Structure 1
Amino acid sequence: MRQDDIWGEETARSYDTFHADMSALEALAPVVSRLAELADGGRALEFAVGTGRVAVPLARRGVPVTGIELSQPMIDQLRTKADEETIPVILGDMATAEAPGPYQLVYLVYNTISNLLTQPEQVECFRNAARHLSPGGRFVIELSVPELRQLPPGQQAVVWKTEPGYAGLDTYDVLNQHLISHHFRYDETGRARLTRSPHRYIWPAELDLMAQLAGFHLETRHADWNATEFTAESGSHVSVYRLAGEEQRRGL
């Protein structure tokens, strides 16, 4: 499965509808408020900006936002909400693409770093964030915690969501730290359509080491955008990494 095949026209057209719950104002409010606070009056860069689910309301809050996005169909959907002047977008991979900077904030939401399927690519994503940030800038990642504790011995799949018309499950390859998310959508006749997306899951401690390799340190980690305490039972986290400031870089 290639990423540019997964994020094609059909996925782009249905993305906002499928994720309508995450796009609701009450769901986005804490996300946008926290990112605006972390931008601290500066510019923000969103890796994998997609259809602009977060970038558009953040720009409306007065934060200048630029995006990097691999999928042209996703950019086309964003353009139905905001023009190029409002939210400039660079077509390219978040691990390597360059946007005119610098920025005070780079952010990557909803597990998207796991779309990079190797550890070296994920490390390069951190390094790319560091290249775009001013000294002392922040890189924010929203990411799920791997659910391996739910796997009984000999079982490779976890059902993570069921609702009318939809079932979602993940199959794990624990040797290679990969998973495939399977999305089954049912129409009124009972027929199902399957879409899949591959991921490389990352433990929080591994993520922190990636950050250190790129010159970051962990500033805060919470279980969600409302600053709920992160515990061993948390299913996801919002981690804020801080790039070394100018004095630290000089060793002062």
Structure 2
Amino acid sequence: MTGEDGYFGERVARRYDESSADMFLPGIVDTAVDVLAELTGTGTALELGIGTGRIALPLSQRGVKVRGIDLSRAMVARLHAKPGGSAIDVTIGDFSTAQVPDTFSLVYSVFNTITYLTSQEAQVACFRNVAAHLQPGGRFVVEVEVPEVRKLPPGHKIVPLYSSGTQWAFDVYDMSTQSMTSNYIEIENGRGENHSIPFRYVWPSELDLMAQMAGLRLYNRWGGWTRHPFTHESAKHVSVWEKPGY
């Protein structure tokens, strides 16, 4: 059961930056922001699932006007509490359907956020919503992992993520529905807590078809923010689709 903030309520939000600390390292953030700033150009950008502002804040510090959509008020409250965060306008809602009264030269979704939409229908709707918010010639950028199903031995459905004396995490895959859950167990002060977050994993070719259905065309695909080639061994991809100009 989830509250109005979905799976990123106060309990998750208050620890999000700390638990994802590796993703906040300057070498990771700056490389992504370099690409996004270049693709935005002199226009404006919209982030889907803006969260606590890991990417939006440094991108706005580059002089890019950034807006956001996010379901979690708890996450957005932390963004707005950070220096410069109050200047970023955020629409509260589901980014597959929420409307923002503007159009953009860039819409982007990073760090697997597209997979928080847990049905194919919602992911298709997201592409259509993005297309409606893009200016002619605008681009949609998605950073997402390639599904790790090659790690599954025959007959198994669990992929371990990490373990320690007090923390364990693992993903559970359902190959028949392309659904998965990330499960986290933590013991603190002798008390155990666990939470699970559902996802729908999606293949690059499937995303391309969703883009085509929304009237977008593939502009480029890389194996990461350094723009190295995407290959059959790539663990993730950064894909860019473009809305044709008039």
Gaps spanning 5+ residues in structure 1: where? 247-252
- State how far apart, in whole Å, the 2-side matches of 1:88 and 1:53 are: 15
Displacement of 1:160 in angstroms is 2.8
- State how far apart, in whole Å, the 2-side matches of 1:68 and 1:161 are: 30
Moved more, 228-237 or 3-12: 3-12
- State how far apart, in whole Å, the 2-side matches of 1:164 and 1:34 are: 39
- State how far apart, in whole Å, the 1-side matches of 2:185 and 2:32 are: 28
Matches within 5 A, 1:27-46: 27-46=28-47
Q: Once the two structures are superposed, what CA deviation does each residue of 1:147-192 show, in whole Å capped at 9, x if it has no partner?
A: 1111111111011334675332110111111000012234475x54
Displacement of 1:238 in angstroms is 0.5
- State how far apart, in whole Å, the 1-side matches of 2:206 and 2:64 are: 31
Say which SS state the counterpart of residue 31 (structure 2) adopts. Answer: helix
- State how far apart, in whole Å, the 2-side matches of 1:84 and 1:29 are: 18
- State how far apart, in whole Å, the 1-side matches of 2:223 and 2:56 are: 21
- State how far apart, in whole Å, the 1-side matches of 2:85 and 2:200 are: 32
Where does residue 69 of structure 2 map in the other structure?
A: 68
Pair 1:202 & 2:205 matched: no
Matches within 5 A, 1:81-230: 81-82=82-83, 86-162=87-163, 165-187=166-188, 192-230=192-230
Moved more, 19-28 or 77-86: 77-86
Quick one: structure 1 residues 120 and 166, their matched pair in 2 at CA, closer, same or farther if it must change by over 3 Å?
Answer: same
Alignment identity in percent? Answer: 45
- State how far apart, in whole Å, the 2-side matches of 1:47 and 1:238 are: 15
- State how far apart, in whole Å, the 2-side matches of 1:26 and 1:162 are: 26
- State how far apart, in whole Å, the 2-side matches of 1:188 and 1:27 are: 33
- State how far apart, in whole Å, the 2-side matches of 1:141 and 1:230 are: 14
- State how far apart, in whole Å, the 2-side matches of 1:187 and 1:26 are: 31
Quick one: structure 1 residues 131 and 5, their matched pair in 2 at CA, closer, same or farther if it must change by over 3 Å?
Answer: closer
Say which SS state the counterpart of residue 6 (structure 1) adopts. Answer: coil
TM-score (norm 1): 0.92
Moved more, 76-85 or 214-223: 76-85
Gaps spanning 5+ residues in structure 2: where? none
Mapped contact 1:109–1:141 kept (Cα < 8 A): yes
Mapped contact 1:59–1:86 kept (Cα < 8 A): no
How many corresponding residue pairs? 245
Say which SS state the counterpart of residue 137 (structure 2) adopts. Answer: strand
Mapped contact 1:49–1:67 kept (Cα < 8 A): yes
- State how far apart, in whole Å, the 1-side matches of 2:220 and 2:164 are: 34
Say which SS state the counterpart of residue 87 (structure 2) adopts. Answer: coil
Mapped contact 2:102–2:133 kept (Cα < 8 A): yes
1:230 alignment partner AA: F
Mapped contact 2:53–2:85 kept (Cα < 8 A): no
2:81 alignment partner AA: T
Say which SS state the counterpart of residue 186 (structure 2) adopts. Answer: strand
- State how far apart, in whole Å, the 2-side matches of 1:97 and 1:109 are: 18
Q: Once the two structures are superposed, what CA deviation does each residue of 1:26-78 show, in whole Å capped at 9, x if it has no partner?
A: 22010110000010111000011011111001000100000011111111111
- State how far apart, in whole Å, the 2-side matches of 1:85 and 1:101 are: 19
Moved more, 76-85 or 24-33: 76-85
TM-score (norm 2): 0.94
Mapped contact 1:145–1:237 kept (Cα < 8 A): yes
**Runs of 4+ in structure 1 displaced over 6 angstroms?**
none
- State how far apart, in whole Å, the 2-side matches of 1:137 and 1:50 are: 23
1:32 alignment partner AA: V
